[in-house]
Structure 1
Amino acid sequence: MNTPTRSANRPRGAHSAPPWQSQQSAHAGSGGEPESLTHTQDLTWSHDHAAQAGPDSPAWVGDVVQGEGLRVGLVSHDSVLRDMVAGICASAGAQLQISPVGGALAGVDVCLLDVQALTDGSGQRPEGGDVVLLGRAGDNGLWDAAALLGGCPVALLPEAESWLADRLAPRTATTAATPAVVVGVVGAVGGVGASTLACWLAADAAADGALSVLVDADPDSCGVDLLLGLESVEAMRWPDLCRARGVLRGEQLLPLLPQHPDQPGLHWLSWDRGTWLRQDAPLTHVLAALRTVAQAVVLDLGRARAGLESLAAQCDVVLVAMPRTVRGVLAAHQATNVLSSGCAEYVLCGVDVADVDETLVQEALGRTPLGHVRFDGRVPEAAESGRLLERGRKRHHQHTVAAVWDELSQSLTSGAFGRSGRVLTGVLGGDPR
């Protein structure tokens, strides 16, 4: 499929108060992208040089990983363990200093002690800093050694790699205080246009100046990159993250996500056409990481189905795209129940063939729909040819999407929705009536 040329200049929508401006992230107003992982002055790992040296070689002594995070010290004579810890520190952005067995570590925030260095009588607890005892499944005396060290935590590697990476990752007040707004889009029925709406919402946010991320959360969709016309682009996709190990940090993840070539500020993460198991995807971890660095995150959840409850709970609001039919209204009601989401809003899509209007939706679902995406017979062709975002810039679609964002902004900034994605008691009521 050839990617057509798209216009990069999109007239700004008349957003009165976009939710990403009221919930500013750390990157708001920065005018640029966060620093990439490939910046060697920020994060380097001298793995190749160290791996070629013997376990007692001076190449293993000193700084092996340079980072801006925690200062980590390791005492071990096991080259395999050293190599493993170096990778964990690299993923966590920590600085690693390796000391020879029997040597002393000073000025570290966390000291990692190999239990084998203790059992042969050469290891000792450093002065200051936290201590984590490292071991393997076959090591003896782990818990006795931990007790002698004052009851320090024990990490069995490689099983505890993720725990250790998270333990070594930095914790900042800025990260926790500036989360992005997260919007999920789900179809009450298949083929209603939920993926199209998700793409247009993410693109509209980016065009309005927000750092926006479109996340494909439907492994059965064959990839949202097809709708963008970017399926041939070599970029990080979900299978790459399924293979990743260690903690996911937003400032490292975002630069790895591809940007749309004709829509500055729009990043995307897509499934491919492979056969990966849904449970292998670290969806909640990726979403948590993106909250810390983006301003608007739009999840394409696909069709409503069992198993989406946990993802829906992670969203600030879930938009249910529903056809303007009696069956569509019933399906939207069922979708809300399936998702167990009290933060559902509704968007009408397509031709009105059954006199389904806002009043009927209000009576049936207890919520007035946020908007109506008009039927457009050229959307399927635009999606097939990679011009979906271009089609979304048509005035009537652009106006609709901007209006949906405006309605969401009023709900989110007024405190109608809780941060966890649940409706605050007494504000919006309970389940659809």
Structure 2
Amino acid sequence: MTDTLFWRPGPQPREAEVSSAALQPDDSVVLVRPAAQQLQDEVARIAVAAGVDLVLAETLAEAEQGRPGIVLVDRLGLRGTGGAGLFSRRGPETVCVGYASDQPWAQAAQAGADRVVVLPEGGAWLAEYLARSRGPAGRVIGVAGTFGGSGGSTLACLLAQEAASAGNTVLLADGDPAGAGLEHRLGAEFTSGLRWRDLADVRGTVNPQQLASALPGIGSFSLLAHPAGEAPPGRLGLDVLPTVLQAARGSYGLTILDLGTSPAPGSPALEQCDGVLAVVAGQPRRLLSARSWCASLGERIPPVWAVVRGPLAEGLDEVRVAELLDLPLAGYLPWTRSLNSAQDDGQLLRVRRRRLQRALAGILAALDPLSAP
């Protein structure tokens, strides 16, 4: 699944040109002026081959002001930065560029850069990476339970079906290392196609179209899961999961990521989400569990919405529950007796209750601000 890239630059200008015009928000690629002119020219030539306009900034602070999509910086530009990521979680992707003699890996690791490219060997990868950054980007929505048995995985499956039936291209992915329950709920254990274990040795980038064509289809959406009863690959979280989800953004308008129960702050899966649906119960004791988890997340997280699961304790409604958690309300999920038996039999997607479908449509509608790139 790793791309084999054949990159040959087209006709090059005599001197690589880099624009220093005002930064364009969100989709621009910014190069922090490197110490060596040779490196600046090399990166500019790669940007030309990728069809990307490169904007020049003097410092990381200046680069961030324009809210770019990608910031390219050499190892000297990283000096003095912290080790917890150069920008906020919602900030730009940071790529450290340099020659092997510059030893960019050490400084990039210390500063918390997202990726490292060693030139000229990595020029093909960087050209492809920059070219893909200009394409449409789908959104990743996480679904997290706040207590055991909260129904987070069930909600993720039902939302995938509802979103696909509304005409979206949808991937349902298992982001919980201890999960492996999606296939069973959907009766997809014997469906042919890639699982997470097949992607454990991915290096570089993943072609979005190849990924989509290799995944199993469940009804009208795709599925990427852990086989039940198998331990997930060891390096999946830190290395492979972000790379695969980046490819998913290129193929699917919406990726629904099952985060499991109370994912830890800073977990790789949580970091990849544009928004999170927290499944909470309308019961006082379980509300305390939800409040503890929400408080543990800190500030470096995506927006979180509450999905309140019935039944509700006396004196509570979904609005009051969301207020107690200080979370915006995405919707109320009514308790449906048939869901438990259906998922035990692998027939979850066959449950079609009008009230349930209305609730799912309402939850997706609450996420509309995230639907636009």
TM-score range, shorter chain: 0.5 to 0.7
Count of aligned residue pairs for this structure pair:
274
The answer to whether 1:370 aligns with 2:325 is no
Give, in angstroms, the shift of residue 311 of structure 1. Answer: 2.7
What residue is the counterpart of 2:236 in the other structure?
A: 280
Residue range with higher mean Cα deviation, 288-297 or 188-197: 288-297
What residue is the counterpart of 1:237 in the other structure?
A: 195
Give, in angstroms, the shift of residue 230 of structure 1. Answer: 0.5
The answer to whether 1:389 aligns with 2:345 is no
Q: Is the CA contact (8 Å cut-off) linking 1:305 and 1:339 kept in structure 2?
A: no
- Consecutive unaligned residues of structure 2, counting only runs of 5 or more, are 13-40, 47-97, 106-115
Read off the aligned partner of 1:92 and give its amino acid letter: T
Q: 1:233–1:368: structure 2 CA closer, same or farther, 3 Å change rule?
A: same
Query: Per chain length, whose mean CA-contact separation is higher, i.e. which structure has more relative contact order (CA < 8 Å, sep 6+)?
Result: 1
Q: How does 1:153-164 map to 2 (within 5 A)?
A: 153-154=99-100
Looking at structure 2, the residues matched to 129 and 183 of structure 1 have their Cα atoms a distance apart, in angstroms, of 37
What residue is the counterpart of 1:136 in the other structure?
A: none
Give, in angstroms, the shift of residue 172 of structure 1. Answer: 5.3
Residue range with higher mean Cα deviation, 183-192 or 304-313: 304-313
Q: 1:207–1:163: structure 2 CA closer, same or farther, 3 Å change rule?
A: same
Read off the aligned partner of 2:305 and give its amino acid letter: E
Give, in angstroms, the shift of residue 249 of structure 1. Answer: 2.6
Give, in angstroms, the shift of residue 305 of structure 1. Answer: 3.3
Looking at structure 2, the residues matched to 179 and 376 of structure 1 have their Cα atoms a distance apart, in angstroms, of 35
What residue is the counterpart of 2:296 in the other structure?
A: 338
Q: How does 1:119-130 map to 2 (within 5 A)?
A: none
Task: Give per-residue Cα distances to partners, 1:2-23, cap 9 Å, x unaligned.
Answer: xxxxxxxxxxxxxxxxxxxxxx
Q: How does 1:256-267 map to 2 (within 5 A)?
A: 256-260=214-218, 263-264=219-220, 266-267=221-222
Task: Give per-residue Cα distances to partners, 1:293-325, cap 9 Å, x unaligned.
Answer: 210110000101325544323212100001111
Read off the aligned partner of 2:357 and give its amino acid letter: Q
Secondary structure of the 1:315 match is coil
Give, in angstroms, the shift of residue 371 of structure 1. Answer: 1.2
Q: Which has the larger radius of gyration?
A: 1
Looking at structure 1, the residues matched to 161 and 174 of structure 2 have their Cα atoms a distance apart, in angstroms, of 14
Give, in angstroms, the shift of residue 108 of structure 1. Answer: 9.9
Task: Give per-residue Cα distances to partners, 1:263-316, cap 9 Å, x unaligned.
Answer: 22x011001122234543411111111112210110000101325544323212
Match of 2:6 among 76, 94, 103: 94
Q: 1:308–1:189: structure 2 CA closer, same or farther, 3 Å change rule?
A: farther
Q: Is the CA contact (8 Å cut-off) linking 2:175 and 2:258 kept in structure 1?
A: yes
What residue is the counterpart of 1:189 in the other structure?
A: 147
Residue range with higher mean Cα deviation, 285-294 or 245-254: 245-254
What residue is the counterpart of 1:379 in the other structure?
A: 339
Looking at structure 2, the residues matched to 198 and 91 of structure 1 have their Cα atoms a distance apart, in angstroms, of 30
Q: Aligned-pair RMSD on alpha carbons?
A: 3.4
Secondary structure of the 1:92 match is coil
Q: Is the CA contact (8 Å cut-off) linking 1:225 and 1:231 kept in structure 2?
A: yes
What residue is the counterpart of 1:407 in the other structure?
A: 366
Read off the aligned partner of 2:341 and give its amino acid letter: E
Secondary structure of the 1:371 match is strand
What residue is the counterpart of 2:315 in the other structure?
A: 355
Secondary structure of the 2:349 match is helix
What residue is the counterpart of 1:145 in the other structure?
A: none
Give, in angstroms, the shift of residue 153 of structure 1. Answer: 3.0
Give, in angstroms, the shift of residue 360 of structure 1. Answer: 2.4
The answer to whether 1:253 aligns with 2:211 is yes
Looking at structure 2, the residues matched to 362 and 199 of structure 1 have their Cα atoms a distance apart, in angstroms, of 23
What residue is the counterpart of 2:124 in the other structure?
A: 168
Q: Is the CA contact (8 Å cut-off) linking 1:92 and 1:249 kept in structure 2?
A: no
Q: Is the CA contact (8 Å cut-off) linking 1:346 and 1:367 kept in structure 2?
A: yes
Aligned residues: percent identity? 28
Looking at structure 1, the residues matched to 269 and 288 of structure 2 have their Cα atoms a distance apart, in angstroms, of 22
Looking at structure 2, the residues matched to 374 and 278 of structure 1 have their Cα atoms a distance apart, in angstroms, of 37
Read off the aligned partner of 2:124 and give its amino acid letter: L
Give, in angstroms, the shift of residue 363 of structure 1. Answer: 3.4
Give, in angstroms, the shift of residue 329 of structure 1. Answer: 2.0
Looking at structure 1, the residues matched to 99 and 203 of structure 2 have their Cα atoms a distance apart, in angstroms, of 21
Looking at structure 2, the residues matched to 316 and 361 of structure 1 have their Cα atoms a distance apart, in angstroms, of 23
Q: Is the CA contact (8 Å cut-off) linking 1:186 and 1:300 kept in structure 2?
A: yes
Looking at structure 2, the residues matched to 371 and 386 of structure 1 have their Cα atoms a distance apart, in angstroms, of 25
Task: Give per-residue Cα distances to partners, 1:202-247, cap 9 Å, x unaligned.
Answer: 1111111111000101121124111110012232101110133332
Give, in angstroms, the shift of residue 191 of structure 1. Answer: 0.5
Q: 1:107–1:178: structure 2 CA closer, same or farther, 3 Å change rule?
A: closer
Q: How does 1:317-336 map to 2 (within 5 A)?
A: 317-336=275-294
Q: Is the CA contact (8 Å cut-off) linking 2:145 and 2:152 kept in structure 1?
A: yes
Q: 1:400–1:351: structure 2 CA closer, same or farther, 3 Å change rule?
A: same
Q: Is the CA contact (8 Å cut-off) linking 2:241 and 2:268 kept in structure 1?
A: no
The normalised TM-score by structure 2 is 0.64
What residue is the counterpart of 1:268 in the other structure?
A: 223
Looking at structure 2, the residues matched to 215 and 228 of structure 1 have their Cα atoms a distance apart, in angstroms, of 13
What residue is the counterpart of 1:202 in the other structure?
A: 160
Q: Is the CA contact (8 Å cut-off) linking 2:200 and 2:233 kept in structure 1?
A: no
What residue is the counterpart of 1:103 in the other structure?
A: none
Read off the aligned partner of 1:381 and give its amino acid letter: S
Looking at structure 1, the residues matched to 123 and 292 of structure 2 have their Cα atoms a distance apart, in angstroms, of 41
Give, in angstroms, the shift of residue 362 of structure 1. Answer: 4.1
Q: Is the CA contact (8 Å cut-off) linking 2:175 and 2:257 kept in structure 1?
A: yes
Looking at structure 2, the residues matched to 107 and 346 of structure 1 have their Cα atoms a distance apart, in angstroms, of 51
Q: Is the CA contact (8 Å cut-off) linking 2:7 and 2:124 kept in structure 1?
A: no
